[in-house]
Structures are given as C-alpha cells and as structure tokens.
C-alpha cells in the first residue's frame, strides 16, 4: 500500500505545481530577457526532445515527467513565472507583492 500512496502523493504534488504555474501566467509576467534565458538553457539541455517542434516551438523536456501536450511544450512552459526546471537548471521567477516574495 505504501507504493500506491507514494504514487498518489507524487501525482498531487505535480498537479499542484502545474496549477500554480498556469495560474501564475494569468496574474504575473516574466521579463522577456528572463524567458529567453530559460529557453536558451532548454535548447542546450540533454533532456530536450525536439520531436516535431517547429520554430517558435522548442520541444519537450523528458526530465520532468509531463505529458507531451501543448501546455507542456517549452516555448509555453518557460513563460510561466512559477514553473521551474525539474533538473534545477532554472528556477521559479521571483514574484513580489508588497515587498514579500510570492511562490
């Protein structure tokens, strides 16, 4: 039973992270140079799967465990302030409200 609980816990953690990342895109914006820095890291990453990506698409990360669907494509994912690289190559964008860090 412990294995199933662990799988459920990992799924919930990923679902929360995905929801936070998507919502952060609605309420906050990342500076264009920060987005491009993230994308450059992804373009040179060993976990990048270019697949059939056509510019401006970058491709998909094989290190994150996300399904290969439109919202997880890296040209989209890199624009979410609260998204982070699962291999710790780039982190969440530092969001501040009233001087306090959010996220």
pLDDT digits (tens, 9 = 90+) for 3-62: 777 878 888 988 898 999 999 989 888 899 999 999 999 999 999 999 888 889 999 999
Distance between CA atoms of residues 74 and 83, nearest Å: 11
Q: Give the domain extent around 34.
A: 2-102
Task: Tell me how many domains the chain contains.
Answer: 1
Q: What are phi and psi of 48, to 5 degrees?
A: -75, 130
Residues 6+ apart with CB under 8 A from 39: 58, 74, 75, 78
Rounded to 5°, angle at Cα 56 from 30 and 83 = 35
Q: Is 7 exposed, middle or buried (0-12, 13-18, 19+ CB in 10 A)?
A: exposed
pTM: 0.82
């Amino acid at each position: 039973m412990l294995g199933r609980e662990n799988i459920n816990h990992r799924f919930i953690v990923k679902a929360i992270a995905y929801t936070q990342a998507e919502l952060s895109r609605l309420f906050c914006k990342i500076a264009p140079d920060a987005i491009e820095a993230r994308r450059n890291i992804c373009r040179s990453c060993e976990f990048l799967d270019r697949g059939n990506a056509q510019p401006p698409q970058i491709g998909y990360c094989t290190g994150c465990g996300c399904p290969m669907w439109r919202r997880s494509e890296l040209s989209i994912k890199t624009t979410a302030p609260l998204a982070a690289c699962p291999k710790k190559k780039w982190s969440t964008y530092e969001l501040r409200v009233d001087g306090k860090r959010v996220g």
